Amino acid sequence: MKHDIINLDSKKVGSVELKKSIFSLPIRRDILKEVVNWQLANRRQGSHKAKQRSEIVGTTAKAFKQKGTGRARRGNLKTNILRGGGVTHGPVLRDHKKKLPKKIRKLGLKTALSVKEKEKKIIIIDKISITKTSTKEIVKKLEKLKIKSALIIDSSSNKNDKSFKQSILNINNINLLPVVGMNVYDILKFNNLIISKDALVEVEKKLIWFSKKKKK
């Protein structure tokens, strides 16, 4: 499965053969749903908390006598119906994390890449690099590519290009991630997927290595 390689000026500079085992899988919506739900659940902090009646600091003395006041019977002032009292059935500290087999996570990643390839939304760039920090220049290059929303995947070893990273910080709907940070949710969230040539090698090596390891 051949795919063109272009540069940031939208000029073709070569082609590359994409692995069918990664970019041409059947679309499993159930797998994508499972992986996205797993990701979003693991992002949740779970630190919301309200004090219950037993956690309120205060006297347990009876507020007033049982009879003769004309008011409702009251035990103490920590009850949930009074201001400053405990909260009934309020939020508590909890862990939202879920477990998902690594096999399903990798299949979800391959399926998400296959979705983008099927929609012809994958763009392979020879090198993600610019000479100086310039948001204006990057915006012009993205307009040439007719891109308004994109996730950019660059090689994990490319740490020299700080100019490009700084240039896209103020551009809406554009995000840059290393291969290590590539995930299903972000791939599906953005309209286009831009992968550098070096990053493509890392992605294929990572996913194919996992498949071979499982077969053993």
Mean pLDDT of the chain: 88
Identify any residues that bridge with 122 across adjacent strands, giving them in sequence order: 193
What's the rounded Cα separation, in Å, for the pair 194 and 141? 13
3-state secondary structure at position 100: coil
pLDDT at 152: 92
Say whether pLDDT at 160 is over 60: no
Give the pair of three-digit tokens for residue 2. 């051949």
Specify the amino acid at residue 128.
Answer: I
What's the rounded Cα separation, in Å, for the pair 179 and 206? 9
Say whether pLDDT at 211 is over 80: no
- Residue listed under structure tokens 């090689």: 155
pTM recorded for the entire structure: 0.81
Instruction: List the domain boundaries for the chain.
Output: 2-44+100-215, 47-95
Using one digit for the tens of pLDDT, what is the confidence trace for 175-192? 999 998 999 999 999 999
Give how far Cα 142 sits from Cα of 15, 71, 172, 194, 200, Å: 20, 71, 12, 11, 20
> What's domain 2-44+100-215's superfamily in CATH?
Ribosomal protein L4/L1 (3.40.1370.10)
Least reliable range by pLDDT among 15-19, 104-108, 189-193, 212-216: 212-216
Using one digit for the tens of pLDDT, what is the confidence trace for 43-89? 999 899 999 998 999 888 898 999 999 998 888 889 888 888 999 99
Give how far Cα 143 sits from Cα of 82, 160, 180, Å: 60, 25, 28
| CB-based contacts of 211, cutoff 8 Å, min separation 6 | 21, 106
Give the model's confidence band at 213: pLDDT under 50 very low, under 70 low, under 90 confident, else very high.
Answer: low
| CB-based contacts of 176, cutoff 8 Å, min separation 6 | 152, 154, 164, 165, 168
> What is the rounded average pLDDT of the residues 125-146?
86
Say whether pLDDT at 216 is over 70: no
